[in-house]
Amino acid sequence: MRLDKFLTETTDLSRSDAKKVVHRGDVTVDGEVVKNTASAVKDGMRVEWNGEHLELMGLRYLMLYKPANVECTSKPGLYERAHDLIDLPNVERLSIVGRLDVDTTGLVLMTDDGQWNHRVTSPKKACAKRYRVTLARPLEGDELARAVEDFDHGLMLDGEEKPTRPARLEMETATVGLLWITEGRYHQVKRMFAAIGNHVEALHREAIGDVELDPELEPGECRFLRPEEIASF
């Protein structure tokens, strides 16, 4: 790997800034100052920038407890971004694996492994996501029975040409329930409940596949996924 590319992989430096620090003599390889940005960095070589040892990070897999009023976007906007909550080098290289609306809280996965991201989000995989839904008005009795059946059979949402995939609804109380869906259409959960005449007041994602939001995490906190969590997809 070229020295300038190695620097961009291990720090927040852009390629042009990496070239500048190398030309200034701020970078050493195995204890020797190297000013050639095209110099090859091989396995086992020790690279330091201003005395700081740099190491390739490899692929990263994280879970984030997304608070409300945080956007799942790479571009700056009206709200704080999920990326702004992550204190890691090259955080912009992390892609969000299944976005959440700005007012939805809960589990967000992030990675720089594009193939893994595809395995989680591909419609063909039909990866189930579990949401805790708080409704504006009670859903019970015959109305609940019809909703469970409609969700299981699939709903035709406004502006859509195909019904939703089968979804499972279980109400814990008259206004709080759990919903499992295997797709991620625009505002899907909110639109599904709107289609049966109700309104979602709060929405929280608890799980993606077999990966559960860590109960030890506070809103805004994150941690790396465990090997078994990564492998579950």
Q: List residues with catalytic annotation.
A: 101
In Å, what is the CA distance from 76 to each residue of 81, 109, 111, 189, 195?
Answer: 7, 19, 19, 26, 33
**Residues paired with 171 in a beta bridge:** 177
**Count of other CB atoms within 10 angstroms of residue 145:** 10
CB 45 within 8 A of CB 30: yes
Measured on CA atoms in the order 226, 129, 60, 214, is the torsion positive or negative?
Answer: negative
The Cα–Cα gap between 22 and 4 comes to 8
The Cα–Cα gap between 176 and 2 comes to 55
The strand pair at 200-208 and 105-111 is best described as parallel
In Å, what is the CA distance from 9 to each residue of 82, 96, 158?
Answer: 21, 19, 45
The strand pair at 70-71 and 211-212 is best described as unpaired
20: region left, alpha or beta (phi > 0 left; psi from -120 to 50 alpha): alpha
What are phi and psi for residue 220, nearest 5 degrees?
A: 95, -10
